[in-house]
Amino acid sequence: MKWSELNDNWCPVARTLSIVGDRWTLLILRDCYLGKTKFEEFAASGGMTRHLLADRLKRLVEVGVLERRAYCTAPKRFDYVLTAKGEELRPALAIMKEWGKKHLPVRRTAVEG
Amino acid sequence: MKWSELNDNWCPVARTLSIVGDRWTLLILRDCYLGKTKFEEFAASGGMTRHLLADRLKRLVEVGVLERRAYCTAPKRFDYVLTAKGEELRPALAIMKEWGKKHLPVRRTAVEG
DNA sequence: CCCCAGCGTTTCTTTCTGGAACTTTCGTTT
DNA sequence: AAACGAAAGTTCCAGAAAGAAACGCTGGGG
């Protein structure tokens, strides 16, 4: 089986991963949950290259996890907002957040308190 | 930021994804939750190549999500079982499973009763 | 007109992935 | 005893994807 065929896999987990299972998509969703909507906001988030960001956003819009809205017509500007479908993945990210906090403390001797 | 630096990211989601955020790792975990333990079982699961499987298993053991046990000494055989740490990611997969079932129906008129 | 901000696209190089054969270690068959 | 087969990886190479950074386009301001 190739990755590109996962979307027809018998397993619903595999089908979900065919959308969000790559290296950057869940990180984009995290930014969405944090309230980011604009291309430059995602780009500034220190994540992937603009190239990949554009690609992933397009894909997320295609599958209906995000919606691309024109928030400004004069200088055609778009932002990306979560759909209901996209919101439903939030709990999965929340679990990963708790898991990371619990099991993966930052190694750099941080000055947390 | 490069992918390899995510493990020190300020965001716990990013740190979690530095481990499970690649194309195949969550699929391996799914197999674990389904009760698979042996290399050949994972390999037969129609997932990645043996090359990647070996790599991902090694990584999951390194970070303590799986444990590599010798289940047979004579012809040195190993299997991989979930640790408590690994079990704690199960809910995230469960959410993805429900999400996939709800939003990504299989297109081939499947008979999964 | 030139510069700036916002939103991508293009180009080039490096790294990763996919597929299959190969290795190693025993246990079994002939 | 040599061949065979299973389990668990490793190695090799071509092709796909990712990374870096500059370029393109649109409209506003000075």
Q: Which domains does chain A have, with CATH numbers?
A: 3-103 (1.10.10.10)
Instruction: Tell me what percent of chain B is helix, strand and coil, each rounded to the nearest 5.
Output: 55, 10, 35
3-state DSSP helix/strand/coil percent for chain A, to nearest 5?
Answer: 55, 10, 35
Task: Give B38's DSSP letter.
Answer: B
Q: What is the mean pLDDT of chain B?
A: 86
Crossing angle (nearest 10°) for helices B25-33 and B90-103: 100
A44: left (phi over 0), alpha (psi -120 to 50) or beta: alpha
What is the overall mean pLDDT for chain A?
A: 87
User: B27: which chain A residues are within 8 Å (Cβ-Cβ)?
Assistant: 13-14, 17, 21
Tell whether A93 lies on the interface with B, counting CB pairs under 8 A.
yes
Distance, in Å, from the CA atom of B23 to the CA atom of B41, rounded to the nearest integer, reads 18
Comparison of pLDDT for B46 and B44, the residue scoring more: B44
Q: Is residue A108 over pLDDT 70?
A: no
Closest CA to A51 of A70, A24, A80, A86: A24
Cβ atoms A34, B32 nearer than 8 A: no
Region B3-27: mean pLDDT is 85
Q: What residue is closest to C8 (Cα–C1')? A: A54
* CB pair distance less than 8 Å for B85 and A92: no
Side-chain half-sphere of A67: how many Cα atoms within 13 Å? 10
Mean pLDDT of A14-36: 91
| Backbone angle region of A67, left / alpha / beta, with phi > 0 → left and psi within -120 to 50 → alpha | beta
**Environment class of B4 (CB within 10 Å of its CB; exposed 0-12, middle 13-18, buried 19+):** exposed
What is the arithmetic mean of pLDDT over B24-46? Answer: 90
